[in-house]
Structure 1
Amino acid sequence: MITSLRIGGLASGIDTDSIMKDLMRAHKIPLQKLQQERQILEWKQEFYREINTSLRTFRDTAFNMRLQGTFMTKSAASSNEGAVTAKANNSAHPGSYTVKVHNLATGVFKGSQGELAGIRDEEGNIKTLAQQFWDDDAPEKISFTLTGFKGGKEKSETFTFNTETNTIFEVVAWINNADLGIKASYDADLNRFFLSTESVGAEQKILVKNDEYNFLSSNDNGDSLLKLDLLTDAEAKGTDAKFDFGDVIGIESSSNTVTVNGITLELKAGDGATSTITVASDTEAVFNTIVDFVNQYNALMETISNKLYEKRYPDYPPLTDEKREQLTDDQIEKWTEKARSGLLRYDSILSDIYNRLRTTISSVVSGVSGGYMEGGKLVKTDNLAKIGINTTADYMSAKLEINEDQLRKAIEKDPQGIIDLFTKGAGEGDVSDNELGIARRLYDNVNYGINRLMEKAGNASDFKLVDESVIGGEISDIDDRIETTEKRLQQLEDRYWRQFTAMERAIQQLNSQSMWLMQQFGMGGY
């Protein structure tokens, strides 16, 4: 708030504004340092949160690697995919299974048995029902009741159409909108009408009742107006699939997709079509899962390492508004890049997380079962190096590299050892840390890191009004200090202005007195 009128050099001729700026420039240095300190804290908070996002992403991967099912992937191959295709779930048992399909599950499909009258008149307009299906004496209205099956229950609806205004396309739309589990369509090119059930199985049906004018159905085995092979009051029903699985004869299913003994079968052909389904452990899928895990681990460690060892440029503090005005956009960008660099160099929290992960990834898991013979010796898959995953020559990078041949060999020869190496401790009650699988330890360490970074920098997606993290508290403290400093500077600037204004008034008064005296001396000369 300005407490007095500011007069800038009117009487003295002094450039008061420039003098004020120079005077305040020195006083504003503490404020600028506070603003720069705040900017650095904001940048640090941003970097911490970015790393926390990377940790959260890797935590999801580590969680999946803790699960035994991740390493129990099975593959299924069919000897006759024209008859049956198969997909094995993790619970499927390796082996060969014979599948014989007697018949497929079907729905109901009814179409016009002959071409209907054209849908357009000579002028190209769409005909009404009366125009399309009756030459003369068309009834004013037609109605029928249609019954289908959907959502586990029978559903019916009665439809009534005005033959002078409604068209076959409205018949299609009304049936489809009724949600009966029955779909209608009309092919204008073929001039044929179609009705079908949405699903397959013996419960699926199309039943027409109260069709007085035989629009959809007939009661004497004759044609309906739409030439559909449907009898009034007689259900047209679908069929269930029927197949044999090994020595289990006559399995029935309302769907052509069915899961038996952990194998999902897609039945493709009936009439006794036969196929042999072979289930085996999918070593390639396990291999790809482990490779993806290693790649994500390397990416995470690189993200942390880049911040830990990023070069710091202490001569490039955050730009002040005054400094920013003196630089081009390109210069501002380059300066800011250096000002942001190295803010987490040798950071203690990141170093702790980094070392924990690096130690865990190279640790030995006690009590791993299995193993495999190679060169007359038992190879125990109790750490990653034993399965071909080693640290690079640059140990400080903490990155891993994979010997693909060795990894594939371990997966094929010792699948249980691979499972133990990553998941040991699952469902085993209290076990010591050295008995926990690699993925289980990593998951715990990543959680530890996430919590530490949350305490330090908070979470960008947290909707709390107050940031309760350490950096959030530091920023809040600086904001209070900035507010106090700005008030003090405003008071100081107001005091300077009052002093300059008082000086200007004094000079103005002196000038006035001098002019009066000069006038008096001048008058005395006459």
Structure 2
Amino acid sequence: MSQPLRISGLASGIDIDSMVQQLMQAARAPVDKLKQQKQLLQWEQEDYRDINKSLVSLRNSIFTAKLQSTYLAKKATSSNESALTVTATSAAEGIYQVDITQLATGVSVISSNLPEETASDGTTQSLAKQFNLPAGTTVTFELQGTEKDSNGQYITESFTFNADTQTIYDVISAINARNMGINASYDSTNNLFSLTSTGTGSSQHLKLVSDSISSVNGVAFLHDYLKLNLTTGSELFGKDAQVVIHDSSNTSVTYNMPSNSFSLLGLSFNLKAPAAGITISVTKDIDTVVNNIKNFVNAYNDVLDKINAKLSEKRYYDYPPLTDDQKKAMSADDIKLWEEKARSGLLKNDFVLDDIAANMRSTMASIVSGLTTKYNNLSAIGITTSSDYMSEGGKLYIDETKLRQAIETDMSGVMDLFTKTADATDQKGLAQRLYDVVNNAIQTISSRAGSDAVSNLADQSYIGQRLKEIDANISDWEDRLNQLEDRYYSQFTAMEQAINQMNAQSLWLSQQLGIGQSSR
């Protein structure tokens, strides 16, 4: 739409722009009110989503509390940690006798000192110069590593090097590029060349199939020049670790393992040296179980505190959101202080959060039916609310002494209190129930306030839809205001044109009167 002609007070001397601005400021009041409503909804949406993030974090903690493994933690100790360190995963409690008869090894061949590979000018010498080979020498050899073909045969890799142009580092790169389970390396400080398997165990393998130098008969490159203890046909294998475990019936079982770190019988072993008569003791890890429960309770309290704080937050009705014009007249610090009060208490006594908090508290205060243990509620294991229940909103406190005693007395009973599964809600463990409560709470808040993961256009939540309605209303109002502003300018322009015409007529009359008087 074309803009109307705007003449700003040339004839009247009136500051038309200022007058239109003042008229429009009054007319914009409904738009400012809509924008304030939008800001309040956006702040409310942010507060809801912030609560939801905390609920998601709590749900993750509850998931851990639902798992039986959380309460079956074991600890294992070794009588000889210089030879063996061990941790328990799912091992049965008891005493294990262990002998380490052999460590797992790979294949490793290391040279003695070689000629310097670096020239006096700092550049890397060719193979011919480093090993004093005749010009035109070609080095060839064949290796087998750990890799096998589809028939189970070791794959032979062939290597050829021009001694005049290629260096020891070209040899290393070529071997490593074949991915044959053998790594080549060069220690430039001590001038040592090595071939080493990438793993350990009896599956590790290295064989020198052939080895020759074109210019020197009867001399092998790897053996005579790289000084590796390998001759054509040499074949090396790694070794498995061997561990002997004795049970209480004096039965011994030998286990061959390809690595020095492995899991066996619910234990994680890390072998360090051969040794006999090692005692492994596996017991309940009470400390870990207590800490797991404490972490769960702390996560619950943190979320409950956050919800209760929002429910009781003071509302300042005298501090509405600032308009754009109001912000222009204020400093950044003043705006920050004002908005802190303006967005305070938006969720005070909110029915959604109040319902979530009530469901969480009732869940944690309930009894688990059908348990064969006396530990059928939190208070029985030393987890209670404070005497000042109302002011603290159901916050939980742990009597650690009582909790430890319950775990030591009946670990299975404590575990069932949190983890028991059942169709009937009153028979579910508390963590199982709370997980459902929190999951429903997350969905309820998402349906009301949406999620950061969903774009505004795709947001179908209650607040998301309200924001779209307000945006549509603001857009309609902006169109009306643009039309109103154009009308004001059109009216003032018409006035200016009329005044200008009157001035012109007045000037003409004055001129005519002046002419009549001069003719007398």
Which TM-score tier does this pair reach, normalised by the shorter chain?
over 0.9
Shift of 1:502: 1.3
Shift of 1:465: 3.6
Instruction: Tell me how far apart the structure 1 counterparts of residues 128 and 3 of structure 2 sit (CA, whole Å).
Output: 91
**Aligned length, in residue pairs:** 506
Distance 2:214 2:372 in 1: 74
Cα distance, 1:123 vs. partner?
4.2
Q: Which residue of 1 aligns with 2:116?
A: 118
The question of 1:495 aligning with 2:477 is answered no
- 2: CA distance, partners of 1:117 / 1:68: 62
Q: TM-score, normalised on structure 1?
A: 0.92
The correspondence for 1:254, drawn from 255, 258, 267, is: 258
- Aligned counterpart in structure 2 of residue 137 of structure 1, from 134, 154, 175: 134
Match of 1:418 in 2: 414
Preserved CA contact (<8 Å) 2:138 2:161: yes
Q: CA deviation at 1:359?
A: 1.2
**1:354-433, aligned counterparts within 5 Å?**
354-370=357-373, 380-396=374-390, 397=392, 398-425=394-421, 428=422, 430=423, 432-433=424-425
Counterparts of 1:522 and 1:139, CA distance in 2: 120
Secondary structure of the 2:296 match is helix
**1:7–1:501 CA contact under 8 A, matched in 2:** yes
In the alignment, which residue of structure 1 is the partner of 2:464? 472
SS of the aligned residue for 1:212 comes to strand
Q: More deviation in 358-367 or 144-153?
A: 144-153
Residues 104-127 of structure 1, C-alpha deviation per residue, up to 9 Å, x if partnerless?
A: 111111111x32222234444432
Q: Which residue of 2 aligns with 1:375?
A: none
Cα shift at 1:454:
0.8
Contact 1:369–1:420 under 8 Å retained in 2: no
- Provide, for residues 371-415 of structure 1, a one-character-per-residue CA deviation record: whole Å limited to 9, x for no partner: xxxxxxxxx211111211111343232221211111111111110
Does residue 20 of the first structure (1) align with residue 20 of the second (2)?
A: yes
Distance 1:251 1:381, change over 3 A: same
Give the SS at the match of 2:81: coil
Does structure 1 conserve the Cα–Cα contact (< 8 Å) formed by 2:138 and 2:213? no
Which segment is superposed worse, 495-504 or 197-206?
Answer: 495-504
How does 1:101-116 map onto structure 2 within 5 Å?
101-112=100-111, 114-116=112-114
Go from structure 1 to structure 2 and tell me whether the alpha carbon gap of 1:266 and 1:37 turns closer, same or farther (over 3 Å shift).
Answer: same
Per the alignment, in what secondary structure is the counterpart of residue 229 of structure 2?
coil
More divergent stretch after superposition (256-265 vs 178-187): 256-265
Give distance in 2, aligned partners of 1:14 and 1:464.
Answer: 46
- Who is 2:267 aligned against? 263
Partner of 2:232 in structure 1?
A: 232
Aligned pairs (5 A) from 1:58-457: 58-90=58-90, 92-112=91-111, 114-134=112-132, 137=134, 140-150=137-147, 154-213=154-213, 223-246=223-246, 247-270=251-274, 272-370=275-373, 380-396=374-390, 397=392, 398-425=394-421, 428=422, 430=423, 432-457=424-449
Asked whether the equivalents of residues 137 and 213 of structure 2 are also in contact (C-alpha less than 8 Å), the reply is no
**CA shift in 2, pair 1:98/1:292, >3 Å:** same
Q: State whether residues 361 and 384 of structure 1, in contact with CA within 8 Å, keep that contact through their aligned partners in structure 2.
A: yes
Q: How much does 1:49 deviate? A: 0.9
Deviations 1:122-155 (A, max 9, x none): 4444321111223x53552111112111599744
Does the 8 Å contact 1:96/1:278 carry over to 2? yes
CA distance in 2 between partners of 1:228 and 1:274 (Å): 38
Query: What whole-Å deviation, never above 9, does each CA across 1:342-381 have from its counterpart, x for those lacking one?
Result: 11111110111011111111211122233xxxxxxxxx21
Residues 2 and 18 (structure 1), Cα distance of their counterparts in 2 relative to 1, 3 Å cut: farther
SS of residue in 2 equivalent to 1:224? helix
Are the aligned partners of 1:230 and 1:236 in contact in 2 as well (CA < 8 Å)? no
Deviation at 1:173, TM superposition (A): 2.2
Task: Find the partner of 1:512 among 498, 504, 512.
Answer: 504
SS at match of 2:185: strand
Cα contact 2:104–2:240 (8 A) shared by 1: yes
Query: Structure 1: any 5+ residue segments left out of the alignment?
Result: 371-379
Write the mapping of 1:34-49 to structure 2, written as runs, cut at 5 A.
34-49=34-49
Q: Secondary structure at the match of 1:227?
A: coil
| One-letter code aligned to 2:270 | E
Of stretches 143-152 and 481-490 in structure 1, the one that deviates more from structure 2 is 143-152
**Residues 98 and 245, structure 1, Cα contact 8 Å, conserved in 2:** yes
**C-alpha spacing 1:187/1:400, structure 2 compared with 1 (3 Å):** same
Q: Is the 8 A contact 1:219 1:231 kept in 2?
A: no
Letter in 1 for 2:454: D
CA distance in 1 between partners of 2:187 and 2:287 (Å): 48
Quote the RMSD (CA, aligned, Å).
Answer: 2.1
Paired residue type of 2:299: Q
Asked if the contact 1:126/1:167 (under 8 Å) is kept, the reply is yes
Aligned letter for 1:63?
F
Q: Give the Cα separation in 2 of the matches to 1:68 and 1:147.
A: 48
- In 2, Cα distance between equivalents of 1:43 and 1:155: 67
Residue type at the aligned position of 1:400 = L
Distance change >3 Å, CA 74–CA 155, structure 1 → 2: farther
| Residues 185 and 195, structure 1, Cα contact 8 Å, conserved in 2 | yes
Give the whole-Å Cα distance in 1 for the aligned partners of 2:467 and 2:456: 15
Tell me the amino acid that sits aligned with residue 101 of structure 2: H
CA contact (8 A) 1:214 1:224 kept: no
Q: Letter of the 2:358 partner, please give it.
A: N
Contact (CA 8 Å) 1:2, 1:494: kept in 2 or not? no
Secondary structure in structure 2 of the residue aligned to 1:76: strand
State the shift of 1:341 in Å: 1.0
- Identity across the alignment (%): 44
Q: Are 1:127 and 1:167, in contact at CA under 8 Å, matched by a contact in 2?
A: yes
| Paired letter, 2:403 | L
- Bigger drift between 228-237 and 445-454 goes to 228-237
- Structure 1 residues 342, 239: CA separation in 2 closer, same or farther (over 3 Å shift)? same
C-alpha displacement of 1:97? 0.9
**Given residue 407 of structure 2, which amino acid in structure 1 is its aligned partner?**
I
Instruction: Give the partner amino acid of 1:207.
Output: K
Q: Distance in 1 between matches of 2:13 and 2:418?
A: 83
The 2-side partners of 1:308 and 1:61 are apart by: 24
Q: Distance in 1 between matches of 2:506 and 2:121?
A: 107
Calculate the TM-score normalised by the size of structure 2: 0.93
